[in-house]
Chains A and B, each alone.
Chain A
Amino acid sequence: MKVKPFYLFLLMVAFTTIIAACSGGNGASTPEEGSSGSTEGTSGSDDEDVIEVGILHSLSGTMAISETSVHDAELLAINEINANGGVLGKQIKPVIEDGASDWPTFAEKAKKLLQQDKVAAIFGGWTSASRKAMLPVVEESNGLLWYPVQYEGMESSPNIFYTGAAPNQQIVPAVDWLLENRGTKFYLLGSDYVFPRTANAAIKAQLEDAGADLVGEEYTPLGHTDYNTVIAKIKSEKPDVIFNTLNGDSNVAFFKQLKDAGITSEDITVLSVSVAEEEVRGIGADVIAGHLTSWNYYQTTETPENSEFVEAYKAAYGEDRVTADPIEAGYFGVYLWAAAVEKAGTTDVDAVKEAAKELEFQAPGGLVKVDGENQHVYKTVRIGEVQGDGQIKELWNSGEPVKPDPFLKGFDWASGLAESLGQ
């Protein structure tokens, strides 16, 4: 007997197993087993005793360091809601997926959560690119995405709720405050991707309108760590303010090299919009102390809800953990969704969207309210100064929640920006 093709037969077996396994994964007939992220049962439909929601953040790759804490905060909120009886009398069951810091993976996993697990909502994303990747998927399947991070604006999808700041709730007031308090010579420094470029386009329009000076604009690749040339330029231009939209590791290198170059916050103020308590820990509080940030929430924000939130977060994940703006936005996003479901009496996406309009919630960072029109939230703007202990002290706040304006329609100087989008 000749057995030459035996291995080919084995190959075929392997191949058909793959396909069989693929088809086996389609929920309905075969509950899979596994750890936290596996899918069980079919869907979050109303006749079951659990409601499934998707949690989709990068748990691996470059963004994991930031996104894992938001993931943790969302799970904390789900656990708290479940401990209080759940939603519509049902427990919320998180289905966890890893976006792996890779945008096509975000699209794939969002598709899996919506089409296969049929989750009632997805909480996820951090970078604009990951949101842009998920956007067509949630719109196609008429799903619901709760996106927790401040971003560059110019977007308003009917299937996304934006719980982070729109530009007019972070960047625009920060520029105003700097012009009033720190001087009019601006230097723009950012990582080379969509958020810094789009944010800076708006800042430039705003500066021009205010008659301020723009003395430099510089972009470095994501992950860039050599800022000596940039700092040399900064030294020769002598700006009053550096508006920093660097993201990730670059901040560590930039602030360290800035300090080594002998530039202190007394000489030049750096205001960062992507540096929160988490990042301060990475940079080193002594290196960045005295510089400014602009957010809607700090761990030090004084509300009764916040002391409870900080305590619960530390109890769940460790005393050394800190809370920050995106963490808080992820956390109250789950509560807003739960409240909307409770109000709608169903997890049906259209009904939940309708119920979420003008919904209010006492978040750790103060009162938030969903804008019925653009599905962003009203938030209080807070400018803060980094302290030696790594916490951020609030210097100024807007006093009341600011209406979100993702297309900057309320600002004359931005008319060119919004118009070009045909909005």
Chain B
Amino acid sequence: MGKIMNQSIFNKKNLLLLGFIVLLIAPLFLTDFRLNLLGKYLAFAILVIGLDLLWGYTGVLSLGHGIFFGIGAYAMGMYLKLEAAGTTKLPDFMAWSGVQELPFIWVPFQNPILAIILGIFIPVMIALLLGLLTFRNRINGVYFTILSQALVVVVVTLFVGQQGLTGGTNGLTSFNTIFGFLLASTTTQTVIYLITAAVLAMVYFASKVLINGRLGQVLIGIRDGENRLRFLGYDPAIFKTFIYALSAGIAGLAGMLFVLQVGIISPTMMGIIPSIEMVLWVALGGRGTLIGPVLGAILVNWAKTTFSESYPDIWLYFLGLMFVIVVVFLPDGLMGLFKKFQKRWSGLHDKQPNSTRVEKNYS
């Protein structure tokens, strides 16, 4: 972003703070149902920050973040399912799938703390493994993207096929309580919403710090000229693997918050289409900016809800049109549009070039 900071009250920090405050007081003026939806959008917003670190800043396109999101969501779902079943009984789907006793994979998820840790740890480990195998061998660009997509197919097929372990296509649903609190109650949902908003703020600021530091410069270096960076003595594979694992962990965290508010996780949420959709949110908001994807995720999902409620027969056309317009006219997403506005505006008022950094086209 620009180095010139305005002194007026509309400076960036104040606006972000204002945005956060609006999110915090949202429970006061939204109905339970709308708050719940907003919470879902915020969970997606957390996810896209990780995706943006990977794609927007490091230039690695993953079309497989649905599974990291899904695994986080399943980890939380498994804990909720076990709590709903009580200590003596098995989750309902196991019974009708002919599973007699609790599979060992499920045992650690009886403990909520362990479930939360695993919901982040498992995606991180998968990403580390895949990242090391691919980036070390200098598998880059479109080949990595294809691999990430293949991973989605493998994981989804596995989840659908292992009905006794995962609930199959139905996924996990019919939760009851969390830490003994009724999930359906307004208070619980409001608290979960506030936690989601706080997590979003934390992930945002942590990413901001990371991007503004030396690491951020290295990442952008990888994006814009990986070979040059290598000749300078950096090993891009390490950085790429790190950021891939980090974004997977963030996705897992987002998945956990998602399942708490939506109350269901199924393989359809981790498949190829959702994985691509997530990338679209980043593109629509503007990759390579942190706030852009966050707004993109919230805006697209809000539009999805609104269009589909108002025009259930033809809402998909609106959504498609929106994507086409953005791709054709706003290649840099919404943030690109705002930048254009800002440029024109400043061009009218002072002829000074206001950007000190050369924006590079990295597509």
Which residue numbers of A lie inside 8 Å of B, CB to CB? 1-12, 14-16, 18-19, 21-23, 25-26, 32, 34-39, 59-60, 96-98, 100-104, 107-109, 111-112, 115-116, 127-129, 132-133, 135-137, 140, 152, 154, 192-194, 197-198, 201, 219, 221-222, 417, 420-422
Contacts and interface: CB of A to CB of B under 8 A. Distances in A.
Contacts, number: 208
B349 A129 contact: no
Contacts of B205: none
Interface string B291-319: 10001001100100110111111011000
A101 B266 CA distance: 12
Given A6-B341, A7-B342, 4 more contacts: A3-B6, A103-B173, A116-B31, A129-B170
Contacts of A420: 95-96, 98, 100
A26 B34 contact: yes
B299 A14 contact: yes
A19 B22 contact: yes
B346 A417 contact: no
Contact of A22 (B34, B163, B174): B34
B37 interface: yes
B354 interface: yes
B184 interface: yes
A134 to B, nearest CB: 9
A6 B38 CA distance: 26
Nearest to B174: A136
3 interchain residue pairs of minimum CB distance:
A7-B338, A34-B310, A37-B312
Contact of B302 (A21, A103, A137, A421): A21
A2 B6 contact: yes
Interface string B7-22: 0101110010011001
Interface string B28-51: 011111101110100000000000
B230 interface: no
Contacts of A193: 160, 163, 168-170
Interface in B310-359: 310-313, 315-316, 335, 338-339, 341-342, 345-346, 349, 354
A198 B96 CA distance: 7
Nearest to B268: A102
A221 to B, nearest CB: 7
B266 A422 contact: no
B304 to A, nearest CB: 9
Contact of B171 (A22, A101, A129, A154): A129
A104 B262 CA distance: 7
Contacts of B339: 7
Please report whether the interface of chain B is mostly helix, strand, loop or mixed according to DSSP: helix
B300 to A, nearest CB: 11
B315 to A, nearest CB: 7
Residue of A35, A128, A420 with most partner-chain B CB within 10 A: A420
A135 B266 contact: no
A85 to B, nearest CB: 27
A112 B309 contact: yes
B2 interface: yes
Contacts of A8: 10-12, 15, 338
Contacts of B93: 194
B211 interface: no
A11 B295 contact: yes
Given A12-B15, A38-B309, A98-B315, A197 B163 contact: yes
Given A4-B6, A5-B6, A38-B310, A132 B22 contact: no
Contacts of A23: 29-31, 34
Given A21-B302, A420-B98, A108 B266 contact: no
B244 interface: no
Contact of B169 (A34, A104, A115, A222): A222
Interface of B: 2, 4-6, 8, 10-12, 15, 18-19, 22, 26, 29-34, 36-38, 40, 89, 92-93, 95-98, 100, 157, 160-161, 163, 168-171, 173-175, 184, 262-266, 268-269, 291, 295, 298-299, 302, 305-306, 308-313, 315-316, 335, 338-339, 341-342, 345-346, 349, 354
A98 B160 contact: no
Contacts of A154: 96
A19 B113 CA distance: 33
B302 A417 contact: no
Contacts of B5: 4
B12 A5 contact: yes
A97 B308 contact: yes
A129 B308 CA distance: 20
B309 A194 contact: no
B264 A104 contact: yes
A193 B4 CA distance: 58
9 contacts: A7-B342, A18-B299, A23-B31, A35-B313, A37-B311, A98-B315, A132-B171, A135-B173, A194-B93
A111 B2 CA distance: 44
A104 B269 contact: yes
Contacts of B308: 97-98, 100, 109
A132 B316 contact: no
A155 to B, nearest CB: 9
Contact of B38 (A2, A22, A39, A222): A22
Given A10-B338, A97-B308, A15 B174 contact: no
B341 A2 contact: no
B265 to A, nearest CB: 8
A15 B95 CA distance: 46
A421 B34 contact: no
B52 to A, nearest CB: 16
Contact of A37 (B10, B36, B173, B313): B313
A104 B175 CA distance: 14
A5 B7 CA distance: 10
Contact of B98 (A98, A201, A219): A201
Given A3-B349, A4-B4, A133-B266, A421 B26 contact: no
A221 B265 CA distance: 19
Contacts of B266: 103-104, 129, 133
Given A34-B310, A98-B315, A108-B37, A4 B2 contact: yes
Contacts of A96: 312-313
